């Protein structure tokens, strides 16, 4: 990376992340949530994005009126928020030496370096397993949720819990690496009769559903509208399991990586999701058994959702970043 420094102060916050078929959209989604909150809290924010983005990702960034930078510059009075599993220690150190104030989102304790201004790990119970002497934001009290999901949580908290399942949302993630969404639909079609499924998948795979109705959505800018109508969510092992629980929606997770699976197991232990295993090991029969077992105990999750998640967690995180 080539870093050029000028004396002009154009950018106050730069979100440095990648979003493509190989990296997925999770890093970009949570960065966008933080960027949107900073824009609300700051009087005249200058917020930019920098990284390797495919066309779909760039469209998401532009949808929220943020600009993608072609190069990093103007480090004076600029905070850079780094969110990728691919940064080296030297790369981050170069950013710090160039004059940037450095915030790093660190899911797996990769970037616990003494030169980082703020370390962020908003996984459940991060304060118990992430050891650092750096300034830090640890745990779900700093998880980044979109404004739409914050509003939906408020609505759900005000309503009585609905026990019946009439609509199921399946969202494996930005990229379903193992094509497990099709298997999930097949398993659900064996478990339920006469309800509605919605699969969010940009590839729009061919489905054979006999006992229920299914709609395929090739992504949406406002997923909260689908959350609002859902009585059960089946997701990949990434951010969606947190988002579903935040919105008080019973959910299962089928993880796409072993690191995601470790996080899923932690949430499952605390009744915040139900573990359906790894996507690479999934079969229709296994998913059928897992979903059937979960339905018998799904109400256990609701109290945990209310007690664990913080409605103001995104605001908490944005305020800490703005202090750097």
Q: What is the pLDDT along the chain (324 residues), one digit of tens a residue?
A: 444 433 334 449 999 999 987 777 889 999 999 999 999 998 767 999 999 999 989 999 999 999 999 999 888 899 999 999 999 999 999 999 999 999 999 998 999 999 999 999 999 999 999 989 999 999 999 999 999 999 999 999 999 988 999 999 999 987 788 999 999 999 999 999 999 999 999 888 889 899 999 999 987 777 899 999 999 999 998 899 999 999 999 999 999 999 999 999 999 999 999 999 999 999 999 999 999 999 999 999 999 999 999 999 999 999 999 999
What mean pLDDT is reported for the chain? 92
Helix axes 147-157, 26-41, angle to 10 degrees: 80
Q: Are 266 and 316 part of one and the same domain? A: no
Domain with residue 167: its CATH number is 3.40.50.2000
85 & 106 share domain:
yes
Residue 244: what pLDDT? Answer: 97
Does 131 share its domain with 169?
Answer: no
Total domain count, the chain:
2
120 and 193 in a common domain:
no
pLDDT single digits (tens) 23-63: 778 899 999 999 999 999 987 679 999 999 999 899 999 99
Domain that holds residue 171: 151-308
Residue 323, judged by CB atoms within 10 A of its CB (0-12, 13-18, 19+), counts as: exposed
pLDDT, residue 176, reads 86
Please enumerate in sequence order all residues whose Cβ is within 8 A of that of 265, keeping only pairs 6 or more positions apart, or say none. 275
Tell me: do 289 and 188 sit in the same domain.
Answer: yes
List all residues 6 or more positions away from 99 whose beta carbon is below 8 Å from its beta carbon. Answer: 5, 75, 76, 78
Per-residue pLDDT at 219: 72
CATH number at residue 39: 3.40.50.11190
Indicate whether 223 belongs to any domain. Answer: yes
Q: Is residue 178 part of a domain?
A: yes
What would the pLDDT profile of 216-257 be if each residue is shown by its tens digit? 998 777 789 999 999 999 999 889 999 999 999 999 999 999
């Amino acid at each position: 990376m080539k870093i050029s420094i000028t004396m002009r102060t154009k950018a106050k916050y730069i979100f440095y992340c990648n979003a493509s078929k190989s990296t997925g959209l999770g890093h970009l989604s949570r960065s966008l949530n933080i960027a949107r909150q900073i824009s609300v809290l700051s009087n005249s924010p200058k917020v930019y994005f920098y990284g390797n983005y495919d066309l779909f990702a760039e469209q998401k960034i532009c949808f929220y009126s943020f600009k993608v930078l072609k190069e990093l510059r103007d480090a004076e009075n600029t905070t850079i928020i780094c969110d990728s599993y691919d940064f080296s220690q030297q790369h981050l150190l170069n950013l710090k030496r160039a004059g940037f104030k450095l915030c790093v989102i660190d899911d797996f304790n990769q970037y616990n370096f003494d030169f980082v201004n703020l370390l962020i790990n908003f996984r459940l119970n991060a304060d118990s397993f992430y050891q650092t002497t750096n300034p830090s934001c640890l745990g779900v009290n700093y998880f980044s949720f979109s404004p739409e999901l914050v509003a939906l949580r408020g609505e759900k908290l005000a309503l009585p819990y609905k026990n019946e399942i009439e609509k199921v949302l399946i969202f494996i993630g930005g990229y379903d690496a193992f094509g497990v969404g099709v298997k999930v639909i097949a398993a659900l079609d064996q478990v339920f009769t006469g309800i509605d499924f919605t699969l969010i998948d940009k590839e729009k795979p061919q489905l054979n559903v006999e006992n229920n109705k299914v709609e395929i959505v090739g992504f949406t800018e406002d997923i909260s509208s689908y959350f609002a109508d859902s009585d059960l969510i089946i997701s990949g092992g990434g951010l969606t399991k947190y988002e579903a629980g935040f919105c008080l929606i019973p959910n299962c997770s089928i993880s796409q990586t072993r690191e995601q699976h470790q996080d899923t197991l932690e949430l499952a232990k605390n009744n915040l999701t139900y573990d359906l295993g790894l996507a690479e090991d999934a079969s229709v029969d296994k998913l059928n058994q897992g979903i059937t077992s979960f339905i018998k105990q799904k109400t256990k999750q609701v109290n945990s959702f209310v007690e664990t998640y913080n409605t103001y967690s995104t605001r908490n995180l944005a305020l800490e970043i703005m202090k750097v």
